[in-house]
């Protein structure tokens, strides 16, 4: 079994230079029902996974009001409250959920404010550690959406502001309105479209939270370099993929999600893997978009 506090082997990152998080976090979408809709069949199992993550030293829990919707936040409170002093719960707003597998962006100021207030209530906190704009609503000026988050920050209701699925120009526009402490975009070993954004956030000292971090696509094929490397080390290909992310950038904060304690243990154990320069060169040289 993975040892206690293994996640700390991934190192720490300080949001805005102040809030310390383990670089390997945990994402909660898979704790909800199929399609991110409703409660799971076994809520107690989901809560055991959350407790196990914290027991392993993970202190960055990523969630969203739209996961369920509301389900993931409720499970976090039921499983982990009262929270450990160093626990950082990062939640998001900006999607409404008309049904299973349906996600519609809504960036109206009154909606974002309402969702922040509801997340505060569900999580039972006075201030949300990291509040992220889940998607930029193309119908509402970006400056208005980020400005709403800045107002909430000024009111003491959120500590750090993050964005999700933005490009460099959008990030720069947002930075003129507020300090942006994290960016969450699709990024993994098999999809590196966001490479320029990863480099930008590292230079700026902004945490980069890759969603879908374990997707490896064709790189996980039977004869692939990734599979061969994993077999040689006697680890899972997904562990190599996580180790690669952690070594890709000093501000990278992977949040692999799972509803299984055994998979959670496996993911966290990737914190202890250090890829050699030759292994990194092999993985860096294989591009699949």
Three-state DSSP state, 24: coil
Whole-angstrom distance, CA of residue 206 vs CA of residue 57:
22
Active-site residue, selected from the candidate residues 67, 81, 83, 111: 67
Whole-angstrom distance, CA of residue 141 vs CA of residue 136:
9
For residue 27, the surrounding DSSP H or E stretch is: strand 26-27
* Residues facing residue 27 across a β-bridge: 62, 257
81 is catalytic: no
Query: Parallel, antiparallel, or unpaired for β 158-164 and 128-133?
Result: parallel
What lies within 8 Å, CB to CB, of 203 at 6+ separation is: none
Whole-angstrom distance, CA of residue 254 vs CA of residue 141:
29
Full DSSP string of 51-113: HHHHHTT--EEE--TTTBTTHHHHHHHHHHPSPPTT-EEEEEE-EEEEETTEEEE---HHHHH
Burial class of residue 72 (count of CB atoms within 10 Å of its CB; 0-12, 13-18, 19+): buried
Report the catalytic residues: 67
């Amino acid at each position: 079994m993975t040892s206690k506090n293994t996640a700390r082997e991934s190192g720490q990152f300080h949001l805005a230079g102040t809030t310390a998080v383990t670089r390997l976090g945990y994402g909660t979408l898979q704790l909800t029902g199929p399609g991110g809709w409703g409660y799971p069949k076994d809520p107690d199992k989901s809560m055991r996974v959350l407790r196990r993550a914290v027991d392993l030293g993970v202190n960055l829990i990523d969630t969203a009001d739209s996961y369920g919707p509301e389900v993931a936040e409720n499970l976090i409170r039921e499983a982990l409250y009262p929270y450990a002093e160093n626990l950082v719960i990062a939640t998001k707003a900006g999607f409404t959920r008309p049904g299973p597998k349906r996600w519609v962006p809504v960036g109206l100021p009154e909606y974002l404010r309402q969702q922040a207030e509801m997340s505060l209530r569900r999580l039972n906190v006075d201030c949300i550690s990291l509040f992220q704009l889940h998607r930029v609503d193309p119908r509402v000026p970006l400056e208005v959406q980020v400005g709403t988050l800045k107002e909430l920050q000024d009111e003491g209701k959120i500590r750090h502001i993050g964005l999700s699925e933005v490009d460099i120009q959008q990030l720069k526009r947002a930075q003129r309105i507020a300090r942006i402490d994290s960016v969450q975009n699709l990024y993994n070993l098999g999809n590196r479209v966001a490479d320029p954004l990863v480099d930008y956030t590292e230079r700026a000292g902004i945490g980069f939270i890759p969603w879908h971090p374990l997707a490896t696509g064709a790189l996980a094929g039977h004869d692939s370099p990734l599979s061969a490397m994993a077999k040689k080390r006697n680890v899972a290909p997904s562990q190599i993929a996580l180790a690669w992310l952690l070594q890709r950038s000093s501000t990278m904060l992977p949040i692999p999600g799972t509803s299984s304690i055994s998979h959670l243990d496996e993911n966290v154990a990737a914190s202890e893997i250090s890829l050699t320069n030759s292994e990194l060169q092999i993985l860096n040289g294989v591009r699949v978009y």
